[in-house]
Amino acid sequence: MLVIGTDKLERFWRRNPNSKRWFQEWLRVAHNENWRTPYDVLDHYPRASVLPRNRVVFRIRGNRYRMVAAVNYRFSTVSIRFVGTHAEYDTIDARSV
């Protein structure tokens, strides 16, 4: 998958250095995958939440961090829409970010 918006991850892990290795691992996996359906995402991330508008919420590091991405299955792209702590996630609408 082509991941768009990695600058959001980098800004987040500069503020939260303990998150860096967890997001780098997610990036490694995502770059090596070819998700064609939401079920493909769930095969690798069974605790992810698939939302309308092709949004997927990933729980990172045991749900300490959350990331919302828009997945374009047809064009094999993942666009990172939000990265934050669980508490920060609770203040957004994941369907519209």
Residue 18 lies in a domain: yes
**Position 7 confidence tier, pLDDT thresholds 50, 70, 90:** very high
Residue 94 lies in a domain: no
Residue 95 lies in a domain: no
Residue 68: exposed, middle, or buried by beta-carbon count in 10 A (0-12, 13-18, 19+)? buried
Average pLDDT, the chain: 96
Give the alpha-carbon dihedral of 29, 30, 34, 37, to 10 degrees.
110
Residue 96 lies in a domain: no
pLDDT at 84: 97
Residue 39 lies in a domain: yes
Residue 60 sits at φ, ψ, to 5 deg, of -110, 140
pLDDT in tens, 42-83: 999 999 999 999 999 999 998 999 999 999 999 999 999 999
Q: Are 84 and 65 in contact (CB under 8 A)?
A: yes
pLDDT at 41: 97
How wide is the angle at C-alpha 31 spanned by C-alphas 29 and 34, nearest 5°? 90
Residue 36 lies in a domain: yes
CATH number (domain holding residue 73): 3.30.2310.20
Kindly state the percentage of the chain with pLDDT values over 70: 100
Range of the domain at 58: 2-89
Provide the domain count of the chain: 1
